[in-house]
Amino acid sequence: MTTPSLQEVVERQPYPEFQAWWTLGDHFVGFMAQAVVTEWRAAVQPAEPERVARLVEEYTELVYGRESRPALVDDFANLRGLGGFRSGEFDAISYGFYRDTFQQLAERTANEESLQKERRAFTRRVGRRFFQQLSSHLSLALPSQLVNANDFALLQQAIAQAGGFLVEQGYLREHFAFRFDVSAKRGDGAIVQSESDFLPALTAGTAYALYEMGYPIILPSAVYLYQTIGEAQHHSSRTIEELFARCGCTASETDDFDPTGFPSELVVELWEIRRE
């Protein structure tokens, strides 16, 4: 099967609700630039901002019908001039650096299974670096493990602080929720869990959560990367995944979740959480 081009997927699935850009907070952009650029330079040889700039320019034109701001990629790559970033600019930047990384990994990875693992590992390394900065900035207090009600309360507080940051800084335009009361379809079955069921379910093996995001700024590029490359950035998901790791848990979104029934403006993920 032929892989579709960026132009084809944009024409097939435009995002008119993202055409009006909003301004992002300097902390978010700065933390993300440090995380993305550091891991991109480690993963891609040679790491050439000019190559990323061409991808960003193409993306900005096709998705937003605009010209990319001069020196946008060069400034981001050198961690300067990061104030006043707008949503569509970051969406394009994220697309450019991740597409370049994913393509370069494909050129040196032997098979598809290994390539998928390498690409996901890159997204996790970026999430880890971003979380390190976020945790310090917010002075997050996390338990080393999730055993009792106090541990769970600390976890919930930290997730709420992280979500508040993502909304306040403009990564999510209007909504964040990470819920442990779950009622959702999954494959041919259903998941039902109350918040009070979470710790017993975790002790038994697997617990669940629902992650709701209102207009994440990278939704267009995430969809387009997935449709053309097969992997997306998952900036906030990889950040929360790292948060759980600091609490002695493995956690991630599932692949067979049916989001039917949730409002169209929300991106919703069903998460599985297990103790390490």
Residue 134: the pLDDT is 98
In a domain, 147, yes or no: yes
Phi then psi dihedrals of residue 130, to 5 deg: -65, -45
In a domain, 136, yes or no: no
Per-residue pLDDT tens digits for 34-58? 999 999 999 998 999 999 999 999 9
Residue 146: the pLDDT is 97
Cα gap 74→52, rounded to integer Å: 9
Counting other chains too, the contacts that 39-43 makes at CB distance below 8 Å and 24 or more residues apart are 39/101, 39/122, 39/125, 39/126, 39/129, 40/97, 40/100, 40/101, 42/125, 43/101, 43/104, 43/105, 43/122
Strands 249-253 and 266-275, sheet pairing: antiparallel
Number of domains in the chain: 1
What is the secondary structure of 156-189 as a DSSP string?
HHHHHHHHHHHHHTTSEEEEEEEESSEEEEETTE
Low-confidence ranges of the chain (pLDDT < 50): none
Q: Does an H or E element contain 194, and which? A: none
In a domain, 268, yes or no: yes
- Judge whether 142 and 152 are in contact, CB under 8 Å: no
CA pseudo-torsion sign 57, 58, 61, 62: negative
N-terminal to C-terminal alpha carbon distance within the chain: 38
In a domain, 77, yes or no: no
Residue 228: the pLDDT is 95
Domain that holds residue 260: 142-275
In a domain, 129, yes or no: no
In a domain, 253, yes or no: yes
Q: Does an H or E element contain 71, and which? A: none
In a domain, 43, yes or no: no
In a domain, 158, yes or no: yes
| Stated pTM of the model | 0.94
